[in-house]
Amino acid sequence: MKQAQKDYDHLQQLSRHSRILTGIGHLLDWDQETYMPDGASGIRSIQMETLAGIIHEEKTGKKFVNALSKLIDIPKGSLKTKELSGEQVAALKEWRRDYLKEKALPKKFVEEFARLTSQSILAWRSAKKENAFQRFAPFLDKLVSMARKKADFLGFKEHPYDALLDQYEHDITTHEIAALFSSLRKNVVDLLKKISKKKQINDDFLHGSFSRDKQLEFSHRILKDMGYSLNFGRLDISAHPFSSASHPTDSRITTRFHPTSLVSCISVIMHEAGHALYEMGLPQEHYGSPLGDSISLGMHESQSRWWETRIGQSKAFWKHYLPHLKKQFPGPIEKASLESFYKAINKVEPSFIRVEADEVTYSLHVILRFEMEKALIEGTLSIRDVPEMWNAKMQELLGITPKDNTEGCLQDIHWSMGAFGYFPSYTLGNLYASHFFEKFAKDHPDWEQRVSSGDLLFINEWLHHAVHIHGRRYTSKELLKKVTGKEFSANAFINYLNSKYEDVYNLK
């Protein structure tokens, strides 16, 4: 074996150990959101702080630096060998990038941030339950302050939000996001105006009283058909649904049950399973290296929104599953035709909760959060004005005002996690998914016929080869170009929305 390969293997071995520790952290997070008793919150914050410090030391310590510097000049980024493969070279560049970002954050800051977020999540949960923004406000103030410090540590050229956005989607800037969102906002608002002039769709049969156990049973049926294996995952309940993976063989999801809304749980589990299938599809032989990690949260979100909306809200999907749904939940839904059901689940109506928003208005929820986060980080929005600003933007974008802060600025967990810069990834996911879907539809022109017969596994197979197996070899934009041959833009998503909802609402 050549020396360069030995050095690479040693580097991956070191990195693998820190990745295992990160996976343990994910399990602690998962436990905190599912089964952890409330009284354990104190020790859990200490556990998270301690683990964050250990991981930071491993990623920035002498052993790792020495191993990395044998293969690449860390300050300059130039390679020291020509004996590695193209994908290994890509991994080295990502390792170097990760190291420089990790090294920029002092260990004390990393530990303090981990402790603060663990405490803030519990404070947020209590504040949301009691509609008490003032209870969460002091934590939010500290989180914003630390996010600004983080941006300063990481460095940026144009806007501090760039540094935070870079943690989740490092191939795009605040300026680019603002331009994308501006175009999307105009098109969505125009489409909404057209829809508002049409007779609203009746979806009464989707609402009623639905057994939690039966919803769970139906959810497991869909998960199995999607290829989500319970040998390597599990489905649990949490206040805010999420996906958590520590390894391709351990990728867990949660959901929440809406007792009066039939499709809510189905949408959630398809969304979270999309995330989980991405993690399950990452190459195990590269575990611990960037080639064994997902590209970005935007790309991750493309997988979840793909399954939730492009498949789960398609007519083809329900041509197969609607008869089974009617058997599972006898009642008013039994009289619904496929066409009326399809239109009902795609009803467009401004609503308060992002995770329950329809496809058309969903992006407006994300744009609201992006604009508020940007203002918080640059200091043009104070913490005390958050509820008022939230309500004003809801009125501006969606024409509705939340009745309280639980329904408004306290609805999402992300700020309590310190995840500033995360929200744009949700809309990027929609854009990426549509970009990919155009190529998928060309590769499988019979996809609707296959889905309507209950065949879903070929979809996951296509995504696996197009996205999952590459790890972080490419940036999001590079992968989109590689798979589709086209430069990234919002056009595919905008065209999809206009085409679909012109049909749903007979706009032509």
* Helix ranges (DSSP H) in 292-423: 297-305, 315-328, 338-345, 359-378, 386-398
Cα–Cα distance between 452 and 225 in angstroms, integer? Answer: 12
Share of the chain above pLDDT 70, in %: 100
Q: What is the pLDDT of residue 508?
A: 80
Q: Tokens 């939940």 sit at which residue?
A: 329
- pLDDT tens digit string along 190-210? 999 999 999 999 999 999 889
For helices 264-281 and 297-305, angle between their N-to-C axes, nearest 10 degrees: 130
- 121 bridge partner residues: none
**Mean pLDDT of the residues in the chain:** 95
In the block, which residue shows the tokens 């004005």? 385
Q: What is the pLDDT of residues 211-239, one digit of tens each?
A: 999 999 999 999 999 999 999 999 999 88
Tens digit of each residue's pLDDT (9 = 90 or more) over 117-142: 999 999 999 999 999 999 999 999 99
pLDDT at 258: 81
Torsion of CA 44, 354, 424, 309, to 10 degrees: 110
Of the pLDDT bands very low, low, confident and very high (cuts 50, 70, 90), residue 259 is confident
Contact of 223 with 235, CB cutoff 8 Å = yes
pTM of the model: 0.93
Instruction: Tell me the residue type at 203.
Output: D
Q: Which amino acid is at 57?
A: E
d(CA 462, CA 226): 12
Is the pLDDT reported for residue 163 higher than 70? yes
At 129 the pLDDT is 95
Average pLDDT over residues 103-115: 94
Distance CA 218, CA 475 (A): 36
For the record, the structure tokens of 97 come out as 């990038």
pLDDT of the residue at 260: 82
The Cα–Cα gap between 302 and 169 comes to 13
SS3 82: coil
CA distance 498 to 493: 9
Residue recorded with tokens 């150990």: 17
Q: For residue 154, what are its two tokens?
A: 């990481």
Amino acid (one-letter) located at 74: I
> Catalytic pick from 272, 301, 308, 373?
272
pLDDT at 398: 94
| Alpha-carbon span 201 to 43, nearest angstrom | 50
Taken in order 67, 70, 73, 78, the sign of the CA dihedral is negative
- Among 85-94, 205-214, 260-269, which range has the highest average pLDDT? 85-94
Token reading at 355 = 């995770």
Whole-angstrom Cα Rg for the chain:
23
pLDDT of res. 1? 67
Answer whether 333's CB lies under 8 Å from 326's CB: yes
Alpha-carbon separation of residue 316 from 51, 224, 448, 455, 506 (angstroms): 46, 18, 5, 10, 19
* Residue 86, both tokens: 């193209």
How wide is the angle at C-alpha 170 spanned by C-alphas 167 and 172, nearest 5°? 125
Task: Please measure the distance between the N-terminal and C-terminal CA atoms of the chain and give it in whole angstroms.
Answer: 66
**Which residues are within 8 A (CB) of 334 and not within 5 positions of it... i.e. 6 or more apart?**
326
272 is catalytic: yes
- Residue-level pLDDT at 261: 86
> C-alpha distances in angstroms, 144 versus 109, 151, 451, 459?
14, 11, 45, 40
